[in-house]
A and B are shown apart, each in its own frame.
Chain A
Amino acid sequence: TQLLEQSPQFLSIQEGENLTVYCNSSSVFSSLQWYRQEPGEGPVLLVTVVTGGEVKKLKRLTFQFGDARKDSSLHITAAQPGDTGLYLCAGARAGNNRKLIWGLGTSLAVNP
């Protein structure tokens, strides 16, 4: 059973389009992180959200943490080929923030 479900699993879009990917769970997390991984490299931390309902923006990326802290979304505006990669979400459970629970990722391809 996957505690963090990411959807869609794969996404292929054209440059300039908008997209949203999701990270859902039935469990409550004290915080949730989003990472991007490019082929042949390690994941790179993009953002951490901590408060229910929190919205954080990183240039064209908008991250939202659900009110109940069970889910999160990542919205990309005007996607560019440089956004291509595997987007991973990882949650920290209350009382055990050292061991993260990982989703399987959304593989995004942005075509020029």
Chain B
Amino acid sequence: NAGVMQNPRHLVRRRGQEARLRCSPMKGHSHVYWYRQLPEEGLKFMVYLQKENIIDESGMPKERFSAEFPKEGPSILRIQQVVRGDSAAYFCASSLSRAGGPGEQYFGPGTRLTVT
């Protein structure tokens, strides 16, 4: 049973380029979460999606950042015109779709974005 998959594991972009981060949730999970983590810091929530819907994007910067989770294929976190401050580890997590559960999230290995 494959866990949460993220690719690429490492991504280097020059300032002004676009970064696309992919996440495939665990089998049977239809909820995806994206988090950002800076060195020596905790996780910062960015966005929560279900298939074809953004449920909560309260942690997403208003500009340059977008996320999607299409009916088919992985969830994508897209960062346009990257700046050095976007350098961080980006983690994706998934959870089951059933209501009333404890909200347990299972994480991928992360994508480390470096902006030069």
Contact = CB atoms under 8 A, between A and B. Distances in A.
A31 interface: yes
B41 interface: yes
Contacts of B56: 98-99
Given A41-B109, A107-B40, A99 B91 contact: no
B28 interface: no
B48 A97 contact: no
Given A30-B102, A33-B102, A48-B104, A105 B110 contact: no
A43 interface: yes
B55 interface: yes
A33 B104 contact: yes
Given A42-B6, A43-B91, 13 more contacts: A30-B102, A33-B103, A33-B104, A33-B105, A41-B109, A42-B93, A42-B107, A43-B43, A45-B104, A48-B104, A90-B105, A98-B48, A102-B42
Interface residues of A, number: 24
A46 B95 CA distance: 15
Interface of B: 4, 6, 31, 40-45, 48, 55-56, 91, 93, 95, 100-110
Contacts of B101: 97
A30 to B, nearest CB: 7
